[in-house]
Amino acid sequence: MKIPEAPFRYHMFVFHSDGTIEQSNPDAGDPNTSDSNGMGAWATDGDKIKGRFVEIAADRTTRQFVSRGEISFLIQVNGNAFSGTASAIFYDAEGRPLRAPLAATLEGERVLP
């Protein structure tokens, strides 16, 4: 999946049939924090797929907690391709938002054998 607004634009998503999702991008994608994996859930919403996943970020130097990101998305599937939008909110260790929600666009295609 391509997410141009993310620190690293390329991600892999795995949508499991039980409604869980895994997201991954290279750990080196963000030079300041380690935020390479996310896990969450998805469900159909009419002819679209909605979901949310959570990723935890740590400081690369101190290895301390930086933030918890909650990313919600809505995508439209068209054959083996999909596109949509996402909104990300990041929280500090006490659960306070660190900044306003960030908007992102999503575009991808299914990995086939």
Q: Which residue, among 3, 26, 1, has the nearest Cα to 86 in the 3D structure? A: 3
| Predicted local confidence at residue 28, as pLDDT | 75
What is the rounded CA–CA span in Å between residue 69 and residue 77?
A: 25
Residue ranges covered by each domain of the chain = 12-109
Q: Would you give per-residue pLDDT tens digits along the chain (113 residues)? A: 999 998 889 999 999 999 999 999 887 777 778 877 999 999 999 999 999 999 999 998 899 999 999 999 999 999 999 999 999 999 999 999 998 899 999 999 999 99
What is the rounded CA–CA span in Å between residue 64 and residue 20?
A: 27
pTM above 0.85? yes
